[in-house]
Amino acid sequence: MSNFLKLIYNEVLKIFIKKSTWIMFALLAIILVGFAFLNNTLVEEYTKDNWKDKLHQENMELQKELDEAKEGSDDFFKEFALSEIERNNYHIEHDIMPLQNGAWSFAHDGSTILGLVSMFTIIIAAGIVANEFNHGTIKLLLIRPIQRSTILLSKYLTVLLFGLFTTIILLFLSLGIGAIFFGIEEMPQIVLEQQDGFTHVSLIKETILKYSYYFVNVIIFATLAFMISVLFRSNALAIGVSIFLLLTGGAIVQFLSDREWAKYILFANTNLKQYANGSPPFEGMTLSFSITVLAVYYLIFITLTWFSFTKRDVAGT
């Protein structure tokens, strides 16, 4: 095994011998089991014999509420009701039964807690360098005949591997718990709303794409936390700032939605899934535009991190 792989192995070992790491995975499992119990009670079940009749009934009820609604009142409900009627009609016309509880539909719904994966990866990224300073082990690390950039790279790649592993764990936990509670569907299809109407795709493909797209978000915020921890040698600051931006980024973009320059903000570009749905936050934004913006931010984060760790008097702290 090369020295570089040994470095990564040692960093991975440091992460997985901590109880806090296993608490993170246990928390994901507990939340998913809770979701499964809720789904058992809240999700309406359709059967092959009655699903079209139920959708027709839903449309009639929605149309009745629309007819009774006063002009200009509750526009949000009107848009929602019209969209649901159109969605139900699409299901009926294309003979696609609405999603039922199953392993893949549960995994698709489980993607709603992918934000926890980003948070957990931020915590790891914030501590993997800063804790070396806090515990005084950075001096022992740097007296070894290994370049600082190599040490830094091994730690950074370990963070990304943890993020990837946790994303995969969430997917497989969702599939496993979904299969135990609901069974496995046969070639499920999902109906999606896009700018030009509705379409349907394989639920398996859509679920894998959803997790894959979100991993870009994990990489960006993990890199941000990693940079802050190296620059300021503080895991608390890195965790606080990164999680705050993770949680408020969407609101910031929404607040600045009337500004043309806001499309260059990092948070306006981290959700690449928005292009699959045809709904970018700013007119004129494209997938290549967002990838370019993310690449620029990424290079800035990495460059600042590298210069700070390799050029400053790290061992003297």
Q: For residue 314, what pLDDT is reported?
A: 57
Domain boundaries of the chain, sorted by first residue:
3-43+100-311, 44-99
Cα 97 to Cα 19, 47, 103, 200: the distances in Å are 44, 8, 16, 11
pLDDT value at residue 43: 67
* pLDDT confidence of residue 81: 87
pLDDT score at 104: 94
**Nearest-angstrom CA–CA distance, 28 and 180:** 16
Per-residue pLDDT of the chain (317 residues), as tens digits, is 578 899 999 999 999 999 999 999 999 999 999 999 988 777 667 777 788 989 999 999 888 888 877 665 667 778 888 889 999 999 999 998 888 889 999 999 999 999 999 999 999 999 998 888 877 777 777 777 788 889 999 999 999 999 999 999 999 999 999 999 999 888 889 998 887 788 899 999 999 999 999 999 999 999 999 999 999 988 999 999 999 999 999 899 889 888 889 899 999 999 888 887 777 888 878 899 999 999 999 999 999 999 988 887 654 55
Distance CA 75, CA 139 (A): 62
HEC readout, 177-240:
HHHHHHCCCCCCEEEEEECCEEEEEEHHHHHHHHHHHHHHHHHHHHHHHHHHHHHHCCHHHHHH
